[in-house]
Chains A and B, each alone.
Chain A
Amino acid sequence: MLIEARDVHKAYPVAGGAVQVLDGVSLSLAAGETLALTGESGSGKSTFLHLLGALDHVDQGDIVLNGQSIGALDDAGRAALRRDRIGLVFQQFNLIPSLCVADNLAFQARLADTADADWIATLTTRLGLDGLVRQYPEQLSGGQQQRVAIGRALAARPALVLADEPTGNLDEATAADVMDLILDLVRDTGAGLLMVTHSSAIAARMQRRVHLSAGRLA
């Protein structure tokens, strides 16, 4: 199993108590598998994604990536894990504004010291970014920025790609385009893909689909 969430609980403190966002969620994903995670606003999908991506701690339960418990890792361990094993794609793209497209795209791979020039060139071409490598993020359209973000997520050949509404800020045609690219590339790298979405159309393109409601999987 690529990644396994075991009875994950997560609460956020708010004024006068805590909100139980995740209330015993268990889920597993195999390598090469694609999974859509759907749910209402506030159902905890993003939180779950952040936990899977070692961006946040679980309160209770555990998440195991490639047989390694994330909960047991310290700050540096989590950072290394994110760097080496996980590719993240956000709705807001979150590119690094001070770096050009080429540097953004290669950023994570080079952080992880796994940069492969051929692969990055391939990615660049396949993402249609060949003419844009010297541009800066602010000079790009939303679709272009998201392609860079996808490239960044895949450049290090991560085992797991986590995407949070990657097409949420894009128009329909661009969104479809971007989805094609993600799915194609994930398939080619053999990574597992977990995508948070509230779009049925997009969810339908995944191999599997789970629905989160009031902190539990339906």
Chain B
Amino acid sequence: MTRAALQALLSHWRRQPLQLATLLIGLALATALWSAVQAINAEARNSYDRAAVFFGGTDLQELQRRDGGPIPLATFTALRQAGWLVSPVVEGRIQRADQAIDVIGLEPFSAPPGTLPPEFAQLVQENPQAMLQDGGTGFVAPEMLADLAEVADLPLLRPAVSLPPGTLVADIGVAATLLDIPDQITRLVLAPEQPRRQPDLAEVAPDLVQQTRGAEGDIARLTDSFHLNLTAFGLLSFAVGLFIVHAAIGLSFEQRRGMFRTLRAVGLPLRRLLLLLLVELLVLACLAGAAGIALGYVIAGALLPDVAATLRGLYGASVSGDLSFRPLWALTGIGIAVLGTLVAAASGLWAVARMPLLASAQPRAWERTSARAIAVQAMAGVGLLIAGLLATVLFDGLIAGFALLGGLLMGAALCLPVVLRGLLSLAQGRARSIRAQWFWADTNQQLRGLSLALMALLLALATNIGVGTMVSSFRLTFLGWLDQRLASELYVTTRNEEEATRLRAFLDGRVDAVLPIWSVMADLNGAPGQVFGIVDHATYRDSWPMLEATPTVWDEVAGGAAVLINEQLARRAGYGLGDTLAVEPGWAFTVVGIYSDYGNPSGQAVIAIDQLIERHPDVPRLRYGLRIPPDQIDGLTAALVQDLGLEPGQITDQAAIKQVSVRVFEQTFSVTGALNVLTLSVAGFAIFTSLLTLASLRLPQLAPVWALGLTRATLARLELGRSLVLAAATFVVAVPTGLALAWALLAVVNVEAFGWRLPMHLFPGQWLRLFALALIAALLAAALPVRRLRRTAPAEFLKVFAHER
């Protein structure tokens, strides 16, 4: 019996291959986007975990020089002999071929337990000589081995799975040689257990400050927003995909009502029928889930390099650009596909369970949408909008920002039917001809069947507008800011103080101005940040990207008692003009200006350079910005290399920095762009499936109209128009929703995530393009159903009139 029943149930799909394809494709798409985002997140988290574990997590304290400079070897020895159990670390970046490699040197004998990569620890056990002799051994992430295979001047490389990509770890001796800093230490890691007696740090090493592992430890926190963003996109895509699945399953159930009735009439118990349907769904879900995972893997693989670039550009976080396949991830993907299928099928199964044995076998072609249901839905939508807004008032942080986004999007989606209904009723009221009236009335009535798909379209369009506005606003602001911030024509970094002295002497009289870029590290409002000293120069007065400042800001800074702070610091600490900022204990300044500082996760302060030097006489004086007429840039660059012996890599011109910055920016948001397109495609597909579903159910509605004197061609044109009208109306709702979304992103989420607020610009050109895209999507979605309608044989219409159906 079961077999026969199953055969009967499945025979439906043989007769409706397109419907089957729709179901499978919809589910696969939903699973694919979701899984892709998950894979990307997992890969990134894995990289962070590797970084975090490798750096000993955030628990370890460390010592750094207050001015950020290198620590002399003698300081390390003095600390150890005083009973301070510290382990030296050297860090730096080397350039080999076209690869920038972050080199980290660890000292295996003093490293606190668990801070060495396991492969490193193992080598120390098994062959300590190999660790430091004959050029030593370096460890890199396995995926880097191939990239570095042909690169010369590196130690023997071995894989270490725990390492973040882009990093080479070696014994401190090997690393110091690679970095050419034999007697310098970058930082000292404190062992968690210290002996019972030790002198105060100030006695042994007054230049050093103790702090928890700095900015890198915050990578996870900083990148949270980015991943939350991705996850939101994934969830959105999944939801949109489920609309498709829901439509396909709903249709298959509707069309098989007669079959269900017959099966039950001939003795198949209801429970068995439901079980069989469930089995059918699970099989389909697993098939589609598997396909979705394969697709998701491909998508994730394609997006990951951009994501990695984004994370590196925005946060300096290293993420592998290679995707690894994780079985658990695949399993989760299948699970989410099954879950999604069940959710999408729940109402259908429920209906079958409740269907009386003798119910009409006719598909419920159509139900007049209850105005009340729409109103209730709209009220829920308004409720969500209010809740989202309330969340930003009640809560802080990123979660509030995303609650706002969620409330905004879902609320707008729920309100969509009522708004569309209003628009269509308005149109209907103004229609003169009965054909137009019928068109509007019929469109209105179809809202019920299409509303889910239209909501999907709304979400996709609004997200597109919102994210597009955000990105474009950001780009506009960022480019303007770059022009202001990068005022010097050339930037030079010297290798040591001696070279710096020679540079200053060399430049004397050859350039319009030499602007020192000197800084020390400081604890700014409880987080590590930088304090820069600047000279009083027209360059700054003319172009510093000030958001807010006192009228005499530059005179006050030059006077020595005032400080400029970046927007991030101002927002996090709540500083305003006139507040007092203690850069170090007993070293306080009055805030006289707040400037924008995009792309920097940390706090920053700017004071007069005299103040900096007075407090930190040993501040490294290595970096300079040079002002010269543009036509002399090339000549001076050449002179610096030839006459002064600088490496070309030490000199960067403004244009190059801008170019790199803009490239990083574009890479950063290319992922968003790709996801936007994907979401829109999925929404288009959702409309397609909904129209396909409706098309077969609509025949009885269209037949009388045809019989009363409209040609099939006319009907087809009207159907096409209907799809376009609905898409256009949805777009009308999507514009304000998207702008609200953009506002939320710019004014709430960005502030929480990055610490800066961006001005919002409007880009009607983008909307126009998107409008065209939406119409094209609607046109494509309607094309097949309409084509079918055009070609429907009159006999099909006539069947509607046949006595027995």
Contact = CB atoms under 8 A, between A and B. Distances in A.
- Consider the complex of A and B and state whether they touch directly, i.e. have CB atoms less than 8 Å apart: yes
B31 to A, nearest CB: 36
Contacts of A90: 704, 707, 801
A88 interface: yes
Contacts of B441: 98-99, 103
Contact of A110 (B366, B433, B703, B802): B433
Interface in B429-471: 433-435, 437-438, 441-442, 444-446
A111 B705 CA distance: 10
Contacts of A190: none
B703 A91 contact: no
B444 A111 contact: no
Contact of B802 (A46, A57, A80, A112): A46
A152 B438 CA distance: 14
Contacts of A173: none
B386 interface: no
B712 A46 contact: no
A118 interface: no
Given A46-B801, A92-B801, A94-B801, A55 B707 contact: yes
Interface string A14-33: 00000000000000000000
11 contacts: A55-B801, A56-B798, A82-B709, A94-B800, A94-B801, A98-B444, A99-B441, A111-B434, A138-B367, A152-B708, A165-B803
Contacts of B703: 94
A75 B713 CA distance: 9
A96 B704 contact: yes
A79 B803 contact: no
Nearest to A168: B803
Nearest to A196: B803
Given A80-B709, A98-B442, 9 more contacts: A46-B801, A46-B802, A46-B803, A50-B801, A55-B797, A94-B704, A99-B437, A103-B437, A164-B803
B4 interface: no
Contact of B711 (A75, A91, A108, A112): A75
Interface in A49-101: 50, 53, 55-57, 75-76, 79-84, 88, 90-92, 94-99
B579 to A, nearest CB: 65
User: What's the dominant secondary structure at chain B's contact region?
Assistant: helix
Contacts of B559: none
Contacts of B133: none
B701 A110 contact: no
A29 to B, nearest CB: 19
A85 to B, nearest CB: 10
Interface in B774-805: 794-795, 797-798, 800-803
A84 B710 CA distance: 11
Interface string B764-782: 0000000000000000000
B432 to A, nearest CB: 10
A83 B368 contact: no
A48 interface: no
Nearest to A198: B803
Contacts of A12: 795
Interface string B704-739: 111111111110000000000000000000000000
Contacts of B438: 96, 98-99, 103, 107
A104 to B, nearest CB: 9
A108 B800 contact: no
A106 B434 contact: yes
Nearest to B710: A79
Contact of A97 (B366, B711, B797): B366
Contacts of A91: 801, 803
A37 to B, nearest CB: 14
Given A97-B368, A98-B441, A53 B434 contact: no
A98 B798 contact: no
B708 A107 contact: yes
Contacts of B366: 97
A168 B802 CA distance: 12
A99 B705 CA distance: 12
A55 B711 contact: no
Given A96-B704, A107-B438, A136-B368, A55 B709 contact: no
B710 A107 contact: no
Contacts of A108: 708-709
B801 A56 contact: no
Interface-central residue, A80, A107, A112, by most chain B CB under 10 Å? A107
Contacts of B706: 79
A94 B711 contact: no
A50 B793 CA distance: 14
Contacts of A106: 434
A58 to B, nearest CB: 12
Nearest to B702: A96
Interface string A134-155: 0010100000000000001000
B801 A97 contact: no
User: Which 4 A/B pairs are nearest by Cβ-Cβ distance?
Assistant: A83-B709, A110-B434, A98-B445, A94-B704
B242 to A, nearest CB: 28
B368 A56 contact: no
B707 A84 contact: no
Contacts of B367: 138
Contacts of A96: 438, 442, 701, 704-705
A138 B368 contact: yes
A50 B713 CA distance: 20
Contact of B707 (A46, A88, A97, A136): A88
Nearest to B439: A98
Interface in B460-502: none
A201 to B, nearest CB: 18
Contacts of B446: 98
A108 B711 CA distance: 13
A50 B800 CA distance: 12
A30 to B, nearest CB: 24
Contacts of A84: 709
Max chain A Cβ within 10 angstroms of own Cβ: one of B441, B706, B707: B707
Contacts of A136: 368
B704 A95 contact: yes
A79 B552 CA distance: 82
Contacts of A164: 801, 803
Contacts of A56: 794-795, 798
Nearest to B706: A79
A105 to B, nearest CB: 11
Nearest to A111: B709
Contacts of B433: 110
Contacts of A55: 707, 794, 797-798, 801
Nearest to B705: A96
A110 B257 CA distance: 37
Contacts of A82: 707-709
Contacts of B708: 82-83, 88, 107-108, 111, 152
A8 B712 CA distance: 25
A42 to B, nearest CB: 10
A109 to B, nearest CB: 8
Contacts of A46: 801-803
Interface in B352-384: 366-368
Nearest to A86: B709
Interface string A150-185: 001000000000001100100000000000000000
Contacts of B435: 110-111
Contacts of B434: 103, 106-107, 110-111, 115
Contacts of B711: 75-76, 79
A46 B713 CA distance: 25
Nearest to B365: A97
A76 B803 CA distance: 26
A99 B711 CA distance: 19
A99 B438 CA distance: 7
Nearest to B367: A138
B444 A92 contact: no
Residue from A81, A84, A103 having most chain B Cβ neighbours under 10 A: A103
Interface in B563-602: none
A152 B704 CA distance: 11
